Amino acid sequence: MDYFLTEEQQMIVDIARQIADDKIIPVRAELDEKEEFATEILNDIAQADLFGLYIPEEYGGFGGSCFEIVLALEQFGRGCVAIATSFAASALGAYPVLLSGSEEMKQKYMPDVASGKKKAAFALTEANAGSDASGIQTTAVLDGDEWVLNGTKQWITNAGKAQIYSVVAITDRSKGARGASMFVVEDTDPGFSCGPKEKKMGIRASATCELIFKNCRIPKDRLIGREGMGFITVMKTLDLSRPGIAILGVGLGQAALDEAVTYAKQRVQFGKPIISFQAIQHMLADMAIEVEAARALVYGAAKHIASHPKDMSKASSMCKVFATDMAMKVTTDAVQVLGGYGYMREYPVEKMMRDAKILQIYEGTNQIQRNVIGQELNKEYTKKI
Amino acid sequence: MNIIVCIKQVPDAKDVRLDPKTNTMAREGVESIMNPFDRHALEEAVRLKEQHGGTVTVVSMGPPQAETVLREAVACGADEAVLVSDRAFAGADTWATTYTLGKAIVKNGPFDLIICGKQAIDGDTAQVGPGLAKRLNIPYVSYVRKITGFDGGALSLQRLMDDGYDEVEIPLPGLLTVVKEINEPRVPSLKGKMKAKSLSLKTLNAEDIGADPDSIGLPGSTTQVVKVFSPEFKGERAMLEGTVDEQVEQLVNKLGTYL
Ligand SMILES: Cc1cc2nc3c(=O)[nH]c(=O)nc-3n(C[C@H](O)[C@H](O)[C@@H](O)COP(=O)(O)OP(=O)(O)OC[C@H]3O[C@@H](n4cnc5c(N)ncnc54)[C@H](O)[C@@H]3O)c2cc1C
Ligand SMILES: Cc1cc2nc3c(=O)[nH]c(=O)nc-3n(C[C@H](O)[C@H](O)[C@H](O)COP(=O)(O)OP(=O)(O)OC[C@H]3O[C@@H](n4cnc5c(N)ncnc54)[C@H](O)[C@@H]3O)c2cc1C
């Protein structure tokens, strides 16, 4: 389907597609097998100017919106969700600074993020604070001209690979949700370190580790925005970033569909290509419908969010749930279409199925997204009635 | 360092077919691409520019459609593009091609280095690089697989050989032809693509480069393609029987008839 992209948007798609086809797809299986971070490919993405897509021109970026980054992420997701996640997590780490940071802070950090010279990461989750962020234990205490951070963050994407970390810490526990703040921590700050690499089911070429803060001292001006604004910044960040996760589902679903149709045309059983069996045809048809429906919803939501409306959350959550549930189903069906060959690592669909699962979990589980959508509906209809 | 990269537009190798009646290449409906070796030439030039400063100018002789590969080269880091195009250039062999490219390059201005691909995947002669160097009276090194150093006046290189590589040095201005091992070409950048869209190409025709009409195109070509054909595929098979020794003897006898 033609979505009538502008010439510039089409350029972004073309470049990202070429990176996926020429650089990512030939090595994705090997990187997955070796659980190796795709440093070179991220450098290729940087060289192609795509790290700056969503960053304003005054900070060295392209000045696009969350729709432009969605276009690039769709192609990367088609190539490999692990590599796409590493790319997306840098944006996730940069959004808090862009949304709530001071002018000086943006000047200081954004040009290097836009050029891809430095990567960012976003650190909210802890062992006892997953869906429920109120369980955060990490604290930040002002001591003279420095904040002192203590605590441990868990499962942080790009840990050890990023130079800039947007970290949530409690600054005043008595204030509840208004007692959390966000800080920029640099990889070289004293008292900061990363834990060992987690062993994961999928997206194995992405880096996921703990962040450990032991009397980690950072200058006072590393506070992002004002004290107590931490959760507000987190919510705004996730509203902006979720279409990016949603579109990874679309890219991944498309990749699985491509593999399944190609295979079904070639595989002969009972004297016929299996695509001639209606059971297979209907499965492929459903996959195609669902991928396209998800794409249309994510593009729509991303464009809505790019217009800076007040009501971002519902659209953001809806597209995340729909597209990532779709990716799980479509990749599972792709394995079914390929049968036993689909289950073998020799073919790419088993990795796609393993990679799909994370999309339903991170950046807020799909249950939590449904909670958000339900609450928003409740609010909307209270106003109407 | 001011670098010229010679780029040829060629039919996509996946699609090459010969018209069995006319024995010419069927170009209709065949997609044109940048000669793959020239991508590596361009990448090396852009890397040299990034390290040592200067400019990269891409030059192509060909029909107006060759503009596409020149713009693609700009998207991948070239600064300027020159299209050498004239109906009178049509039918050029390597002799006429090197004459024309040489004239165009001199007309374009001073340079320190010219980089060509090892060969074009359609013509396949690998003559244009060395021929061009001869026309311009500059030294050349072909099959370059690595640039190991630059001291301001000369480049240190590795030249790929069948049994290893040679270490050679070339004073500038000079010309290199490169093999694929030299680098991994980059994909276009967003800024590059935007520049490629708006950049106005420099176009030079026969008159602009002051070409002698008898030295260009078909009249200037000393070679003529008399016949082009696909070799017939002979899929003969023979199974040898008997003990291993007997089979070996049969094989030796059979092979002997070909010697
Ligand atoms: C099927 C076929 C058969 C041919 N047979 C002959 C023949 O027998 N004898 C003969 O003399 N010619 C022949 N030609 C013509 C010859 O290909 C071209 O005339 C010549 O322009 C380029 O030679 P090449 O393609 O072998 O390039 P090569 O010498 O293989 O190319 C080396 C490099 O030179 C540069 N280069 C080549 N052409 C251009 C260009 N037009 N613009 C810019 N840079 C360029 C590129 O950097 C390229 O990588 C034939 C062409 C075809 C299609
Ligand atoms: C590979 C990977 C990368 C990650 N990267 C990052 C990162 O870069 N930065 C970061 O901060 N975090 C990151 N995370 C953490 C991720 O965001 C959390 O795992 C996620 O938010 C869920 O938290 P949890 O795992 O603790 O699950 P829990 O919150 O313990 O949930 C367990 C189950 O209960 C359900 N559940 C919980 N509460 C409710 C409720 N109220 N209603 C209905 N169902 C509920 C959940 O949906 C889930 O099914 C990453 C995680 C992984 C696995």
B43-72 residue pLDDT tens: 999 999 999 999 999 999 999 999 999 999
Mean pLDDT of the region A242-252? 98
Alpha helices in B60-173 (DSSP H): 67-75, 94-108, 128-136
- The whole-model pTM stands at 0.90
Residue A194, classified by CB atoms within 10 Å of its CB into exposed (0-12), middle (13-18) or buried (19+), is: buried
Specify if B231 maps to a domain: no
Burial class (CB in 10 A: 0-12, 13-18, 19+), A371: middle
Which residues of chain B are within 8 Å of residue A23 when distances are taken between CB atoms? 187
- Asked if residue B180 belongs to a domain, the reply is yes
Cross-chain Cβ contact A19/B187 below 8 Å: yes
CB of A22 within 8 Å of a chain B CB? The answer is yes
Q: Give the model's confidence band at B23: pLDDT under 50 very low, under 70 low, under 90 confident, else very high.
A: low
What mean pLDDT do residues A168-187 have?
A: 96
Query: pLDDT tens digits for A329-354?
Result: 999 999 999 999 999 999 999 999 99
pLDDT at A52 over 80: yes
pLDDT value at position B224?
79
Q: Among all ligands shown, which has an atom nearest to the Cα of B140?
A: 1
Nearest CA to ligand 1 atom 50: B123
Among chain B residues, the shortest Cα distance to A47 is held by B189
Predicted confidence at residue B225, as pLDDT, reads 78
Give CA–CA dist A247/A323, Å, rounded: 7
Tell me the three state secondary structure of residue B126: coil
- Cβ B125 under 6 angstroms from ligand 1: yes
pLDDT of residue A184: 98
Instruction: Judge whether B74 lies within some domain.
Output: yes
Domain that holds residue B205: 3-222
Six token digits for residue A81: 């969700």
The answer to whether A290 is a known catalytic residue is: no
**Tell me, what's the pLDDT at B234?**
79
How many interface pairs between A and B have CB atoms less than 8 angstroms apart?
35
Candidates A336, A334, A327; CA nearest to A355 is A327
Asked if B197's CB is within 8 angstroms of A47's CB, the reply is no
What is the domain count for chain B?
A: 1
Catalytic residue among A30, A350, A363, A376: A363
The DSSP string of A106-139 is HHHHHHHHHHTSS-EEEE--BTTBSS-GGG---E
pLDDT band at A385 (very low <50, low <70, confident <90, very high): confident
ipTM of the complex: 0.88
Pocket of ligand 2 (CB under 6 A): A 89, 122-125, 130-131, 155-157, 200, 203, 208, 358, 361-365, 367-368, 371
- pLDDT, position B15: 67
| Ligand 1 mutation pick, B94, B204, B223, max ligand atoms within 8 A of CB | B94
Four-point Cα dihedral A234, A236, A237, A238, nearest 10: 90
B27: pLDDT strictly greater than 70? no
B248 occurs within a structural domain: no
In a domain, B199, yes or no: yes
B146 in any annotated domain: yes
DSSP per residue over A331-356, as a string?
HHHHHHHHHHHHHSTTSTHHHHHHHH
pLDDT at A188 over 90: yes
The most distant pair of C-alpha atoms in chain A lies apart, rounded to whole Å, by 79
Q: Average pLDDT for residues B21-46, to the nearest whole number?
A: 85
Query: For chain B, what is the mean pLDDT?
Result: 93
pLDDT given at position B231: 77
Closest residue of chain A to B189, computed from CA coordinates: A48
Closest CA to B9 of B81, B103, B114: B81
d(CA A255, CA A253): 5
All domains in chain A, ordered by first residue: 7-119 (1.10.540.10), 121-228 (2.40.110.10), 231-384 (1.20.140.10)
Six-digit token string for A341: 């060959």
Residue B120 lies in a domain: yes
Inform me whether the pLDDT recorded for B17 exceeds 90: no
Mean of pLDDT values over A206-224: 98
Q: What CATH number has the domain bearing residue B119? A: 3.40.50.620
How far apart (Å, rounded) are the C-alpha atoms in residues A371 and A369?
5
CA A16 / ligand 2 centre spacing (Å): 29
Report yes or no on B53 lying in a domain. Answer: yes
